[in-house]
């Protein structure tokens, strides 16, 4: 059983950090959280079955012995969505008033939490979002969407969406709206949760509360088509586009409630990605089209087959391994 939130007349704050195989980034993230000018009351680390020595690093550096840190290693990798569901559940059951969500590649400025505090007592605010900066210091607009009459310059400013890279959710909202949707595995879990949050209240934007989002991942390849460069994912990585399109279809079909304008938007997006796949990606075309169409069908059917992309990827890697062995045989 985990310790409950400290008794106080002041609100209590817990951070939830979901990690997978990025131990060095996780250490940076934890150091930034432990240096906050307004101290956190608890930090929950949700480890999605890392295989890079994350647990060993946490032990060696003393994090597992730290009184503020709770480490929870999942029995099975349930993706970012499953990790955030587990983290919110733990923090909620422990009684914390506000739950600050982030990936392991988010580095909070020292005053990030303190600068969110002025928003938590505002009537009808059920969540507070940080401003996300890229490594070069520019504002990353891809992680937030403003309300129709709000903007980055508005005061106060409110959002209809913030990614889980720095979104703090109230206990009251979790009680009313439930936990993030673990079935999504990857992609769109924050979008779906923000749809629910906006039914409970408003998402305040703390513009001076900064997170640097490192987003360290293997870069996609570039192909030259029609006089310009396009990014293209190798066949094995393209399998994971399944999560993006399945979850997007589910959100627009079921998550928002039926809206004709959103269905039209979704149809146009699906047609656009199919055309892009035909004319830009080109290689392994039938396979790529199959992934997208399977994702669309599963979203419509509410089928969350999260093992499907991994099965497809493993087949590709196995076929490549066998081909490599054949190529090594003289005269083959």
Task: Give the CATH number for residue 75.
Answer: 3.90.550.60
pLDDT of residue 207: 95
239, part of any domain: yes
Query: Is the pLDDT at 9 greater than 80, yes or no?
Result: no
pLDDT of residue 261: 86
Q: Could you tell me if 201 and 276 lie in one domain?
A: no
Q: What is the mean pLDDT of residues 165-171?
A: 98
Q: Could you tell me if 137 and 229 lie in one domain?
A: no
pLDDT of residue 1: 47
Query: Is the pLDDT at 216 greater than 70, yes or no?
Result: no
Q: Could you tell me if 36 and 170 lie in one domain?
A: yes
pLDDT of residue 45: 98
Q: Could you tell me if 136 and 160 lie in one domain?
A: yes
Domain coverage including residue 207: 13-213
Q: Could you tell me if 49 and 165 lie in one domain?
A: yes
SS3 73: strand
332, part of any domain: no
236-283: pLDDT as tens digits: 999 999 999 999 999 999 998 878 888 899 999 999 999 999 999 888
276, part of any domain: yes
Q: Could you tell me if 92 and 225 lie in one domain?
A: no
Q: Could you tell me if 238 and 174 lie in one domain?
A: no
7, part of any domain: no
Dist. CA 224–CA 210, nearest whole Å: 36
pLDDT of residue 8: 64
pLDDT of residue 217: 64
Q: What is the mean pLDDT of residues 180-204?
A: 97
Query: Is the pLDDT at 223 greater than 90, yes or no?
Result: no
When the pLDDT of each residue in the chain is averaged and rounded to a whole number, the result is 93
284-313: pLDDT as tens digits: 999 999 999 999 999 999 999 999 999 999
Residue environment code for 105-141, b if the CB has 16+ CB neighbours within 10 A, otherwise e: bbbbbeebbbbbbebbeeeebbbbbbbbbeeeeeebe
Q: Could you tell me if 176 and 250 lie in one domain?
A: no
174, part of any domain: yes
Residues sharing a CB contact under 8 Å with residue 188, sequence separation 6 or more, in sequence order = 243, 244, 247, 248, 250, 251
Total domains in the chain come to 2
Last residue of a domain, one of 184, 213, 242: 213
2, part of any domain: no
Q: Considering the entire predicted model, what is its pTM?
A: 0.91
Q: Could you tell me if 208 and 259 lie in one domain?
A: no
């Amino acid at each position: 059983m985990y310790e409950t939130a400290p008794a106080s007349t002041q609100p209590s704050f817990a951070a939830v950090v979901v990690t997978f195989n990025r131990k060095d980034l996780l250490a940076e993230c934890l150091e930034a959280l432990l240096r906050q000018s307004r101290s956190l009351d608890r930090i929950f680390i949700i480890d999605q079955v890392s295989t890079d020595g994350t647990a060993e690093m946490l032990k060696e550096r003393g994090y597992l012995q730290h009184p503020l840190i709770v480490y929870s290693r999942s029995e099975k990798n349930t993706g970012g969505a499953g990790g955030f569901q587990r983290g919110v559940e733990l923090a909620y059951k422990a009684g914390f008033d506000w739950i600050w969500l982030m990936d392991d590649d988010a580095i909070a400025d020292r005053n990030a939490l303190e600068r969110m505090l002025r928003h938590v007592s505002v009537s009808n605010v059920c969540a507070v979002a940080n401003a996300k900066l890229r490594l070069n210091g520019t504002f990353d607009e891809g992680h937030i969407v403003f309300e129709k009459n709000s903007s980055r310059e508005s005061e106060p400013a409110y959002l209809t969406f913030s990614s889980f890279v720095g979104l703090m959710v109230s206990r009251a909202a979790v009680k009313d709206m439930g936990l993030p949707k673990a079935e999504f595995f990857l992609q769109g879990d924050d979008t779906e949760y923000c749809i629910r949050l906006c039914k409970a209240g408003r998402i305040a934007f703390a513009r001076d509360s900064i997170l640097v989002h490192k987003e360290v991942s293997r870069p996609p390849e570039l192909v030259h088509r029609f006089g310009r460069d396009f990014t293209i994912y190798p066949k094995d990585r393209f399998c994971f586009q399944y999560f993006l399109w399945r979850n997007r279809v589910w959100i627009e079909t079921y998550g928002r409630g039926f809206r004709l304008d959103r269905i039209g938007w979704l149809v146009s997006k699906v047609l656009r990605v199919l055309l892009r796949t035909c004319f830009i990606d080109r290689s392994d075309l039938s396979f790529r089209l199959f992934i997208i169409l399977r994702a669309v069908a599963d979203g419509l059917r509410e089928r969350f087959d999260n093992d499907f992309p991994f099965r497809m990827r493993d087949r590709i890697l196995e076929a490549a391994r066998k081909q490599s062995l054949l190529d090594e045989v003289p005269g083959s």
